[in-house]
Amino acid sequence: MSKRKRLPKWFATTLPTGTARVRYLETSSNVHEHGLHTVCEEAKCPNVHDCWGRGTATFMVAGEVCTRGCRFCAVGTVKAPPALDPHEPDELAEAVARMGLNHAVITVVNRDDLPDGGASHYRDCILAVSQRSPEVGLELLCSDLDGNLNALAALLDDLPLRVFAHNVECVPRLDSVVRDPRASFEQSLAILREARRLRPDIRIKSSIMVGIGETDEEVTQAMHMLREAGVSMITLGQYLQPGDRHLPVDRFPEPAQFRRWDLEAREMGFDAVASGPLVRSSYRAGLLWEESRGGQPVLLGGQT
């Protein structure tokens, strides 16, 4: 078994201060007092203080286990997950309302066991949150729905979203190494392209992990492919190995390389970019959405 690589010095994080600290503590109190579950804590995201201090949180719906076994992901894998919880949409709406958020990201596990990949349940969750908290901006980080474009159309029909996101995760060459055999860069592109066609009024977003065997040039090419598919928002971040059974880290690109990718993405015409070692797909999601509408670029703690 190979020894894990040490984290470089640029992985240090800072705690929020002032108003951001007050907001973080209020959000944390609501989460723990009411027994809420967020991806932010369960995935041990290094940016939890930052995002909660800005009124953004990420929730995972449709269960705690996935029907796929991607080699980068810490979520458990089973062939036959438990049935969907019919109370989940209302419980999610209650959680978002209690936390006092201004932007919520709803992410999902893959549900290949369901005819529509879970699309109708994801729709119910988004609608319940919107009805309870219409002032909260909503972002859906969706699965590829096993390539089911009809399910995607039913999901997105007049859905109150700011952002539809789906992550390609890695460059095309590494699909078979990194992702489950049922996933592919091409299938993900098809979902993103169709989402853009169906809903030209919302932002389309994707994310790439680096440090898993790609070259710098392959990242640039993957960004071109995403832009051509109609993706207007992109995040790039460093892969970190969740456990011993997961894919090892291949390299740690320096912050300067992330800055180069940031500049390249902007030159390609992406409306909003977050590129840095600590960036995750939902990093500062609310601010990134504001940037896509002409706001200030998202700052990455001295990395840009």
Q: Of the segments 6-15, 37-46, 123-132, which one has the largest average pLDDT value?
A: 123-132
3 state SS of 13: coil
Tell me if 195 sits within 8 A of 204, measured CB to CB.
yes
CB within 8 A of 11, min separation 6: which ones?
A: 46, 277, 278
Please state which of the four CATH numbers 3.30.1180.20, 3.20.20.70, 3.40.50.2300, 3.30.9.10 is assigned to the domain occupying 18-292.
3.20.20.70
Cβ count near 240 (within 10 Å): 20
60 DSSP β-pair partners: 107
3 state SS of 298: coil
What does pTM read for this prediction? 0.88
pLDDT in tens, 235-281: 999 998 877 888 899 999 999 999 999 999 999 999 999 999 988 88
- Alpha-carbon distance 196 to 231, whole Å? 8
Cβ count near 48 (within 10 Å): 20
pLDDT in tens, 162-171: 999 999 999 9
* The 137-141 sheet, strands edge to edge: 56-61, 103-108, 137-141, 163-165, 203-210, 233-238, 272-275
The better pLDDT of the pair 154, 9 is held by 154
pLDDT in tens, 52-97: 565 677 888 998 889 888 888 878 888 889 999 999 999 999 988 9
pLDDT (average), residues 166-186: 95
Please report the pLDDT score of residue 71 as a whole number. Answer: 85
- Alpha-carbon distance 195 to 74, whole Å? 27
| AA letter at 73 | C
- Alpha-carbon distance 65 to 74, whole Å? 10
Cβ count near 84 (within 10 Å): 17
Please report the pLDDT score of residue 301 as a whole number. Answer: 46
- Alpha-carbon distance 45 to 53, whole Å? 14
- Alpha-carbon distance 98 to 113, whole Å? 32
Tell me if 242 sits within 8 A of 71, measured CB to CB.
no
Q: How far is CA 256 from the centre of its chain?
A: 23
pLDDT (average), residues 38-61: 65
Provide DSSP, 243-257: STTSPPP-----HHH
Residue 169 DSSP one-character state: B
Tell me if 251 sits within 8 A of 215, measured CB to CB.
no
CB within 8 A of 181, min separation 6: which ones?
A: none
Domain boundaries, the chain: 18-292
Residue 98 has pLDDT above 60, yes or no: yes
Tokens linked to 99? 């936390």
pLDDT in tens, 131-154: 999 999 999 999 999 999 999 999
